[in-house]
Amino acid sequence: MPSQFFIPDPEGQVPSAEGYFGAFGGKFIPEALVAAVDEVAVEYDKAKSDPAFAAELDDLLVHYTGRPSSLTEVPRFAEHAGGARVFLKREDLNHTGSHKINNVLGQALLTKRMGKTRVIAETGAGQHGVATATACALFGLECTIYMGEIDTERQALNVARMRMLGAEVIAVKSGSRTLKDAINEAFRDWVANVDRTHYLFGTVAGPHPFPAMVRDFHRVIGVEARRQILERAGRLPDAAVACVGGGSNAIGLFHAFIPDRDVRLIGCEPAGHGVETGEHAATLTAGEPGILHGSRSYVLQDEEGQITEPYSISAGLDYPGIGPEHAYLKDSGRGEYRAVTDDAAMQALRLLSRTEGIIPAIESAHALAGALDIGKELGKDGLIVVNLSGRGDKDMDTAARYFGLYDTDATVEADASATGAEIKGDAK
Amino acid sequence: MSGAASIGGNIQLLNDTLAAAKAEGRSALIAYLPAGFPTVDGGIEAVKAAFDGGADIVEVGLPHSDPVLDGPVIQTADDIALRGGLKIRDVMRTVREAHEATGKPVLVMTYWNPIDRYGVERFTAELAEAGGAGCILPDLPVQESGLWREHAEKHGLATVFVVAPSSKDARLATITAAGSGFVYAASLMGVTGTRESVGEQAQDLVRRTKATTDLPVCVGLGVSNARQAAEVAGFADGVIVGSAFVQRMLDAPDERAGLAAVRALAAELADGVRGGA
């Protein structure tokens, strides 16, 4: 029986053997890591065509993760989106609360096949870290998670979850103390401990084969969503919308729709305080081609190739790079990317909470904010699928501070009973 | 584009320097110091002090915002340099003034993105014009290096590749065939920084590398004192020391003391590569 949930790219057209998606991708890594990265590529190629691997992963995805994830129509939310129909792909309902588990389980199985006993990973919002710590607990692997110091503060709940699961969490104090610095530190660890350690990379960036492999593990999102929307709405959507940090949940949703030329693929990047302020992490909107963390893609950098410090209220999107396949989709015109500010994302977070009873992650709220605009552009006949990549529990401290929801705050809102029909600009 | 009239880089001076050390029956001493640390002028003085103490060759680091192959010591120096506003033109000035003052070979060590962004032709032309001898590019694998090598060769600059204990023999052959100047053998699997001992893997790597090339093979990572330098000099053509110099500068109460410490460490290591410890 063919695999139901592990569905690598059947076209296999990109990347090239050298890991290039058009002009982007490749393998810009120190010599010390070449053998290890090559080993991952060889093992993944073997695993991909091994029915036993697919069967084991399928079993986990069904009975552990809870796939397939639901596709939920959100009509009360959609009233604010120009009347277009909006469906959410509920990756927030996966075990551990985000899409990240799809990739983590695949790579954890690969780690076992390579005979490695230790896993390291970076994390921004902590969702990839929690998923990795979870898989390591499940498989009995030693686990170290690198997380920027700023992120350990704004995502403290996830730090506690990782430690509860038995992982060591190291707060990274270098650079901007966010996701990119966590990746730097994870690479340093990997170089020193590569014999027994797999770097379980969490997004569709990094050196080949990570962009293609991580995409393949997340492809199930779009495969399911495509089938579900055809069943539910009787047609393909006008747009598939997702937030984009490194780009894993977005490529997961987009990929199965790439051959459907009438489906717009729209990525929502974090505009932070506004792209024009310079305080943002909108890499495809404002970046230039360059090399960061092992591949060529768009990068936020100065004119001399120094990486500039990104900013987003969302720890998971606060990254100055982007997966090379997104760069390829952008340059080929198949993908569209727009920037969503902190404020717009937070308003969308509250709107979904109050109209549908679903609290999204701040990351995913960027996609929801994008969908509100896209719905208005499409009008009443529009049909949109949004990837709800994660749930918002981890963000409640940030959200409570943003909206003044703590009793100690002077600005406890009087509109707690609001249906969301009128979301006021009362925050910040 | 600089035309055929452009000034050639100093790859020959690098080759001659390594050959001269060999003729003396010793290893060469190669020091690493980041440009712009603690200031641009202070960094230039530090390179001169390393030469003055006995270094044969100096690698000038181009500080990077994301130095994934560097440990905390060089990260700290890079941060100080970048916060001080270091630009590539300052790196070029460091190379020029250090070379002009000493007549010795100066290389640049840099992550690839700054060159990619600056432009390969522009960077190689300016480095050659400044009197540079070549570049060490630790995150540019040989299979991605074609464009760089074309321009480096045109401008008379060496391309020094790094090999690691994990490099398989066939790959060592590919790398050394593409490189020039010397081969940088990483003594261990890890980032820059001083270590108690330089393991046996270094000797094995040098042996395997030499089986593929006539290029000098120099060993870096972890070496910090004369005893280690003497040990490595027993099997390698050159000994590369970086973090230990930077650490001395960080520990010094002021710049003058830092320069004296660099000079003293270079002298100690120069004894080491001559068999003294």
> Each residue of A138-147: pLDDT tens digit?
999 999 999 9
Inter-chain touch B189–A194, beta carbons under 8 Å: yes
A304 contacts in B (CB within 8 Å)?
Answer: 87-88, 114, 117-118
B175 contacts in A (CB within 8 Å)?
Answer: 31
- Quick one: which H or E segment has residue A253? helix A248-254
Of A18, A32, A303, the CB nearest to B189: A32
A191 contacts in B (CB within 8 Å)?
Answer: 69, 189-191
Note the pLDDT tens digit of each residue in A197-230: 999 999 999 999 999 999 999 999 999 999 999 9
Inter-chain touch B162–A174, beta carbons under 8 Å: no
CA–CA min distance A168, chain B (Å): 20
Inter-chain touch A30–B113, beta carbons under 8 Å: no
A11 burial class (0-12, 13-18, 19+ CB within 10 angstroms)? exposed
Residue type, B128: A
- Residue-level pLDDT at A101: 98
* Domain ranges, ordered by start, for chain A: 71-97+211-403
Using pLDDT thresholds of 50, 70 and 90, give the confidence band for residue A422: very low
Compute the C-alpha angle A371/A374/A378, nearest 5°: 130
Top pLDDT among A176 and B206 is at B206
For residues B30 and B240, is the Cβ–Cβ distance under 8 A?
yes
pTM here? 0.94
CA–CA min distance A95, chain B (Å): 33
Of B16, B24, B41, B59, which is the active-site residue? Answer: B59
The strands making up A24-25's β-sheet, listed across from edge to edge, are A20-21, A24-25, A295-299, A288-292
Using pLDDT thresholds of 50, 70 and 90, give the confidence band for residue B277: low
A122 has catalytic annotation? yes
Assign domain B11-272 to its CATH architecture: Alpha-Beta Barrel (3.20)
CA–CA min distance B266, chain A (Å): 27
Inter-chain touch A31–B67, beta carbons under 8 Å: no
Task: For B110, name the nearest residue in chain A, comparing CA atoms only.
Answer: A305
**H helices of chain B, where?**
11-23, 40-53, 72-83, 88-102, 112-118, 120-129, 146-154, 169-178, 200-210, 226-233, 243-251, 255-273
Inter-chain touch A188–B69, beta carbons under 8 Å: yes
Q: What is the ipTM of this complex?
A: 0.93
- Residue-level pLDDT at A427: 42
CA–CA min distance A49, chain B (Å): 27
Of A30, A175, A304, the CB nearest to B66: A175
B70 has catalytic annotation? yes
B4 burial class (0-12, 13-18, 19+ CB within 10 angstroms)? exposed
For residues A214 and A200, is the Cβ–Cβ distance under 8 A?
no
Distance CA B148, CA B137 (A): 10
- Residue-level pLDDT at A419: 45
Inter-chain touch B114–A184, beta carbons under 8 Å: no
Q: Which of B64, B69, B79, B209 to mutate to test the interface with A (most CBs of A within 10 A)?
A: B69
Residues 6+ apart with CB under 8 A from B98: B44, B47, B48, B51, B58, B60, B104, B106
Note the pLDDT tens digit of each residue in A317-369: 999 999 999 999 999 999 999 999 999 999 999 999 999 999 999 999 999 99
Inter-chain touch B141–A27, beta carbons under 8 Å: yes
Q: What is the residue-averaged pLDDT of chain B?
A: 94
Residue type, A100: K
For residues B160 and B134, is the Cβ–Cβ distance under 8 A?
yes
Distance CA A347, CA A324 (A): 30
Note the pLDDT tens digit of each residue in B123-159: 999 999 999 999 999 999 999 999 999 999 999 999 9
B171 contacts in A (CB within 8 Å)?
Answer: 34-35
For residues B172 and B163, is the Cβ–Cβ distance under 8 A?
yes
Of B140, B162, B191, the CB nearest to A28: B140
Of A69, A176, A297, A389, which is the active-site residue? Answer: A389
Inter-chain touch B141–A290, beta carbons under 8 Å: no
Task: For B187, name the nearest residue in chain A, comparing CA atoms only.
Answer: A32
Using pLDDT thresholds of 50, 70 and 90, give the confidence band for residue B200: confident
Of A28, A194, A305, the CB nearest to B114: A305
B112 contacts in A (CB within 8 Å)?
Answer: 28, 291
Q: What are phi and psi of B66, to 5 degrees?
A: -130, 70
Q: Are strands B238-241 and B217-220 parallel, antiparallel or unpaired?
A: parallel
Inter-chain touch A191–B171, beta carbons under 8 Å: no
The CATH class of the A71-97+211-403 domain is alpha beta
Distance CA A251, CA B205 (A): 41
- Quick one: which H or E segment has residue A292? strand A288-292
Using pLDDT thresholds of 50, 70 and 90, give the confidence band for residue A154: confident
Residue A420, pLDDT > 90, answer no
Of B70, B97, B231, B268, which is the active-site residue? Answer: B70
Residues of A with a Cβ under 8 Å from any B Cβ are 18, 26-36, 174-175, 180-181, 184, 187-188, 191-195, 288, 290-293, 296, 299, 301, 303-308
Note the pLDDT tens digit of each residue in A250-289: 999 999 999 999 999 999 999 999 999 999 999 999 999 9
What's the Rg (C-alpha) of chain A?
Answer: 20
For residues B164 and B189, is the Cβ–Cβ distance under 8 A?
yes
